[in-house]
Amino acid sequence: MSDLSPVTSGEDAQDPSDEADSSGDAPVGEPVIRVKAMTMGWGDFILQREATFTVNRGDVFVLLGGSGCGKSTLLQHLIGLQTPLAGSVEIAGLGERGPERWGEPRFRVGPPPFGVMFQSGALFGSMTVGQNLSLPLERWTDLPPDAIASLVRGRLGLVGLREFEHHYPSEISGGMKKRAAIARALALEPDLLFLDEPSAGLDPVSAVELDDLILTLNRQFGLTVVLVTHELESIFKIATRCAFLDKDSQSIIARGDPRQLRDESTDPRVRAFFNRLPRSVAEEARA
C-alpha cells in the first residue's frame, strides 16, 4: 500500500519490457493488471471478446469507446464485481483469476488493494461526506476514531473539500461529489485507482482541476490510475496509454499512446474518435 508520499524519480523509471502487451505501447513500470483474452457477456449476448491488455505501474490508463461498448462493465470485471465468460484478470496483490476461481474466498477477504470511483459517484446519501470516507477505514482497519477522523480530513484536504466534511452529498455540487467519491476511493491509501468518467458533466474549469488532481495522484503520490473518459483534452493531457473498445466488433481495436493513435492509427474508427471527425467521414475513408 502506498503511504501517499511522493515518489522519487528512481521509482518513476521507464521499463521497456511488456511481454503481455504487443501493441508497441511504452510501458512505465512493472505490470499491475494483466487482462488475458477476457470475454464479457451474459448468456448469448457477448459484449467484448478476448480483451487483452496490460496496465503498468505508473500508468494513467484510459478505457475509451462509444456509449454501450462496455467500459463500465470492463471496470466491474477488473474489480471483481462481474465474472467473465472466459479469460482471466490478474491484479498485483490478488493473483490471477478466471471464471472458475472468481468466487474463491481469498478474493473476498481483506480490503481491496485498489480504490474505485463509480460512474454515478455512489456516495451514501444518508451519510455526510466525512462519514462516507470513514466507512472503509472503520470496515477494514483497527484505527481509533481520532486517527480515522484525522485521515478523513487529510483525504478531504487532498481533493479540496476540507470545509465540507459535515455536508451531505445533496448539499454539495456535482463536481464536489466526484471529488468526494475520489477521496473515499483513496481512504485506504491504495496504489491503484479506478475512476469511471470522473469529469463527465463538469464545467471546463472543474474538469481541468480534476485532471490536475489525477496527475498529482499519479506523479507525486505514485498511484496507477485506470480511468474511463470521453474527454479528448483530458485524454491527451493525462493518459499514458489507452485501450479503445469497439461495440460493433466486440473487441479492443487499438491500444497505445493516445497521441500516437490520433496521429498514426490507420483505423478510421480510431482516427474519427481522436480527431473528432463525423462517423460518415470515417466510414468513407474506410471504403
Ligand X SMILES: Nc1ncnc2c1ncn2[C@@H]1O[C@H](COP(=O)(O)OP(=O)(O)OP(=O)(O)O)[C@@H](O)[C@H]1O
Q: How far is the CB of 122 from Mg ion (least distance, A)?
A: 13
Q: How far is the CB of 42 from ligand X (least distance, A)?
A: 4
Is 48 or 240 the residue whose CB approaches ligand X more closely? 48
Convert 70-106 to b/e letters by CB count within 10 Å (16 or more is b).
bbbbbbbbbbbeeebeebbbbbbebeebbeeebeeee
Residue of the chain from 6, 24, 68, 110 that contacts ligand X (CB under 6 A): 68
Q: Which of ligand X, Mg ion, none does residue 271 bind to, with CB < 5 to 8 Å depending on kind? A: none
Sheet hosting strand 86-91, strand order edge to edge: 45-56, 31-42, 86-91, 95-97
Residue of the chain from 39, 72, 131, 216 that contacts ligand X (CB under 6 A): 72
φ and ψ of 73, to 5 deg:
-65, -40
Based on the shown chain and the rule CB under 6 A, indicate whether residue 77 belongs to the binding site for ligand X: no
Q: How far is the CB of 14 from ligand X (least distance, A)?
A: 31
In angstroms, the CA 33 to CA 247 distance is 23
Q: Which of Mg ion, ligand X, none does residue 67 bind to, with CB < 5 to 8 Å depending on kind? A: ligand X
In angstroms, the CA 146 to CA 128 distance is 17
Query: What are 194's three cell numbers?
Result: 479506478
Instruction: Point out which span in 6-14, 63-71, 108-116, 139-147 binds ligand X (CB under 6 A).
Output: 63-71
Residue whose Cβ sits closest to Mg ion: 72
- Indicate the burial class of 170 (C-beta count within 10 angstroms; 0-12, 13-18, 19 or more): exposed
Which parts of 205-244 interact with ligand X (CB under 6 A)? none
Based on the shown chain and the rule CB under 6 A, indicate whether residue 140 belongs to the binding site for ligand X: no
In angstroms, the CA 134 to CA 130 distance is 6
Q: How far is the CB of 80 from ligand X (least distance, A)?
A: 14
CA R_g for the chain: 19
Q: How far is the CB of 253 from Mg ion (least distance, A)?
A: 18
Q: What sign results for the dihedral spanned by CA atoms 140, 194, 191, 114?
A: positive
- DSSP letter at 159 equals T
Based on the shown chain and the rule CB under 5 A, indicate whether residue 72 belongs to the binding site for Mg ion: yes
Based on the shown chain and the rule CB under 5 A, indicate whether residue 82 belongs to the binding site for Mg ion: no
Q: How far is the CB of 68 from Mg ion (least distance, A)?
A: 8
Is 51 or 151 the residue whose CB approaches Mg ion more closely? 51
| Interface residues toward Mg ion, by CB under 5 A | 72, 119
| Interface residues toward ligand X, by CB under 6 A | 42, 47, 65, 67-73, 119
